Chains A and B, each alone.
Chain A
Amino acid sequence: MTTLAETFARTRSEGRAALIGYLPAGYPSYAGCVDALVAMVESGVDIVEIGLPYSDPLMDGPTIQQAVEAALAAGVTTREVLKTVEAVAATGAATLVMTYWNPVERYGVGAFADAMAAAGGAGVITPDLTPDEAEPWLAAVASAGIDPVFLVAPSSTAARIRRVTEVSRGFVYVASTMGVTGVRDAVSDRAEALVARVRPVTDLPLSVGLGVSTAAQAAEVAAYADGVIVGSAFVRRLIDAPDPAAGVAAVRALAVELAAGVRAARH
């Protein structure tokens, strides 16, 4: 397994931010998703974030909702998500799962952390689990040896930022804006201000997500963050593709552009 720490050490040594790409498991199919994620890694994505499809994704905008609904309708299961992790981790890229909390509780908190570790996963992002309710989860990930990634938001107070950074491992997910996932014309200028507030509090890498979709935006964010997270733009490529092969090609092309973006940033 490649860890998040190893990955950020490498991207830092290369003088650039890491590129983090997201797709939900099971979309457009189990195999189609694996193909697209492997293509991302081959095209310059450093860290892969695999979404665990959930019936009530209240942090997600319409693009990801659409893909997740299709994956669920096709019968994707938690075990298939873990198989996806295994397939992607085998490429050598650090591999995360992004999941709402109830599927983890249902699988078993300890069992899920152990299964992630066994699949070669590096960590788990939990958008609706804050440190306040995370005690059993923190014990489980510590025992399994994977990284818990929590979020900070523009509305987070200084005390909240301290609390989130204390318990996060691997990196801190910096939500660029108040809102849900989705492509936006501009990355909120609140992102840079938030990174500046979090930076003095922690040595962890800071990765910015929500609203990043183009090479220019990736370059802009990479100038002040350690990681750039792109989700909806990749999903949109798959949704708009006439067939799975064209989808993989479109994902590959976007990954190449974004990888150039994070390398073009001025640090």
Chain B
Amino acid sequence: MSDTISDPATTLEVMPDAAGHFGPYGGRFVPEALIAALDQLTEAYASAGQDPAFRARLDHLNTTYAGRPSALTEAERLSAHAGGARMLLKREDLNHTGSHKINNVLGQALLTLRMGKTRVIAETGAGQHGVAAATACALLGLECVVYMGEEDTRRQALNVARMKMLGATVIPVTTGSRTLKDAMNEAMRDWVTNVESTHYLIGTVAGPSPFPRMVRDFQRVIGDEARAQVLALTDRLPDAVAACVGGGSNAIGIFTAFLDDPGVRLYGFEAGGDGVETGRHASSITGGAPGVLHGARSYLLQDEMGQTIESHSISAGLDYPGVGPEHAWLNDIGRATYRPVTDAQAMDAFSLLCRTEGIIPAIESAHAIAGAVEVGRELGPDSIVLINLSGRGDKDVDTAAAWFGVVTGEPA
């Protein structure tokens, strides 16, 4: 598939509406100072969508730089642990920079150039989006500043080093819980101050309109490719599609191609942390309530006063108290099902995939594996489960080694 950016004429007909609403979710809850920039971005994105040269340049980068299309791997030994269901892995872990994040950053970095802006800011949790943003900026000659919670700079020191090597400035954020949500606050503060020169390259399908729609469109290449690959391999559509959900960009990326296939069940696996019942988790849909955070209405973890509650997950990339508004809507209309996967279940699946398939997944993606194994057991041996393996686990080796006790000494 070369259709890496969808035709606005078809996507806008469905969702969101012109103001960025997915049912009651989405929209724009931002300071007035940012409205002009969001309008500029909306226009630049619309004109890029109709410009064959823009699409051609993005397609070219995707194939010659990012490594698209990514492979579809049949996980035959994993199947035995999933009730005999056929398990098909969409290998976003094989992309340049090691995750699906590259799909979005290349698109938005090209838009930055198109808008005549010279500086990019980004927030990052695990560092995967920060590394991808730094990569795209190095490639296209843009200045890059990445905000990262101080807590996460410790958990993901390797990715901090990668970003710096790529020429980005990494700013540790010391306010609030010192994690992804605070990095996003700080990026917003930078943006409102420097908006004339700066594009805020949001890494997920959250934030004010047009980000949820635009990031979805840049990520839908995952599902568009996978749908064709599954059809070519099996002569039919999968019974289920599984992905992990933090902000939810890899999940939206693979879900979108199947939204109009009613026979295909869509499953999003949220980070259950210590278990939703413990209150220490990052399951915004399963364990949160609708509200407004970071520019959009969606499900979020909040107390009775509307203060954001800190999230908890072994996976820095899923450790976020909100979720993209389209997921909130897909949940409410029953098109997708969201379930929590605990740290322990995710790490069991991490180990399982390492040992059955020789693939070390990102801990984020291990949540999808854990959930998909359950779905495979539920659907039985004649079923086909497509799993978005959204990233590789190189960045997580320290965390995993400490979890499994395979090395002695200080955990990172």
User: B-contacting residues of A (Cβ < 8 Å)?
Assistant: 54-59, 61-62, 65, 69, 72, 77-78, 101-107, 127-130, 132-133, 150-157, 160, 164, 175, 178-180
B-chain residues with CB within 8 Å of residue A128 when the two chains form the complex: 29-31, 292, 295
* B293 neighbours in A (Cβ, 8 Å): 56, 102
CB distance A130 to B30 under 8 Å? yes
Interface membership of B53, Cβ < 8 A:
no
Q: Which residue of A lies closest to B305 (CB)?
A: A78
Contacts of A155 in B (CB 8 A): 32-37, 195-196
A contact residues around B30 at 8 Å (CB): 128, 130
B291 sits at the interface (CB 8 A): yes
Which B residue's beta carbon lies closest to that of A130? B32
CA distance A130 to B38 in the complex (A): 13
Please give the distance in Å from A177's CB to the nearest CB on chain B.
8
- B29 A129 Cβ-Cβ under 8 A: yes
Check B192 for interface membership: any CB of A closer than 8 A. Answer: yes
Nearest 9 Cβ contacts at the A-B interface: A106-B306, A153-B33, A103-B306, A155-B36, A179-B193, A55-B307, A58-B188, A102-B306, A55-B308
**Is B175 located at the chain interface by the 8 A CB criterion?**
yes
With A106-B306, A155-B33 known, 7 other A-B pairs at CB within 8 A are: A56-B182, A58-B31, A62-B175, A103-B305, A133-B27, A155-B34, A156-B36
Residues of chain B from 270 to 311 with CB closer than 8 A to chain A in the complex: 291-295, 302, 304-308
Tell me the complex Cα distance, A156–B307, Å: 29
Which residues of the partner chain A approach B27 to less than 8 Å between Cβ atoms? 132-133
Q: Which residues of A contact B175 (CB under 8 A)?
A: 62, 65, 69
The interface bits of chain B over 11-40 (1 if a CB of A lies within 8 angstroms of the residue's CB, else 0) are 000000001000000011111111111000
User: Does any Cβ of A come within 8 Å of B176's Cβ?
Assistant: yes
The docked-state distance in angstroms from the alpha carbon of A150 to that of B182 is 25
Q: Which residues of chain B from 73 to 96 have any CB-CB distance to chain A below 8 Å in the complex?
A: none
Residue of A nearest to B296 (CB): A133
Chain B residues, CB < 8 A from A153: 31-33, 35-36
B185 to chain A: which residues have CB within 8 Å?
A: 56-58
A153 to B27, CA, bound (A): 20
Interface residues of B (CB under 8 A from A): 19, 27-37, 175-176, 181-182, 185, 188-189, 192-196, 291-295, 302, 304-308
* With A69-B175, A129-B29: A56-B196 Cβ-Cβ less than 8 Å: no
> B356 to chain A: closest CB distance in Å?
41
Asked if A180 meets B307 with Cβ closer than 8 Å, knowing A130-B28, A156-B36, A160-B35, the reply is no
- Asked if residues B36 and A133 are in contact (CB atoms below 8 Å), the reply is no
B302–A175 touching, CB < 8 Å: no
Q: Which of A58, A107, A150 contacts B32 (CB 8 A)?
A: A150
> How far, in whole Å, are A132 and B20 apart by their CA atoms in the complex?
11
Residues of B within 8 A of A77 (CB): 305
Residues from chain A with Cβ under 8 Å of B194 in the complex: 178
A74 to chain B, nearest CB (A): 13
CB pair B292–A102 under 8 Å, yes or no, is yes
Within the complex, what minimum Cβ distance (angstroms) separates A194 from chain B? 11
C-alpha spacing A168/B192, complex, angstroms: 22
In this complex, which of B33, B189, B195, B302 has the most chain A Cβ atoms within 10 angstroms of its Cβ?
A: B33
With A102-B292, A132-B28, A151-B31 known to touch, is A107 a contact of B36 (CB < 8 Å)?
A: no
A157 to B188 alpha-carbon distance, docked (Å): 20
Supposing A56-B176, A133-B27, A180-B193 touch, asked if A152 and B32 sit within 8 A by C-beta, the answer is yes
- Which residues of the other chain, A, contact B33 by a CB distance below 8 angstroms? 151, 153-156, 175, 178-179
Residues of chain B contacted by A160 (CB below 8 angstroms): 32, 35-36
A69, A104, A153, A164, most chain B CB atoms within 10 A = A153
Instruction: Give min CB distance, B24 to chain A, whole Å.
Output: 11
B21 closest partner in A (C-beta) = A133
B196 touches A132 (CB 8 A): no
Question: A106: which B residues are within 8 A, CB to CB?
Answer: 291, 302, 304-306
B192 touches which of A54, A55, A178 (Cβ 8 Å) = A178
**Min CB–CB distance B320 → chain A (angstroms):** 12
A72/B307 in contact, CB under 8 A: yes
Distance in angstroms from A167 CB to nearest chain B CB is: 12
Verify B302–A102 contact, CB threshold 8 A.
Answer: yes
The reply to whether B306 and A56 contact each other, CB–CB distance below 8 Å, is no
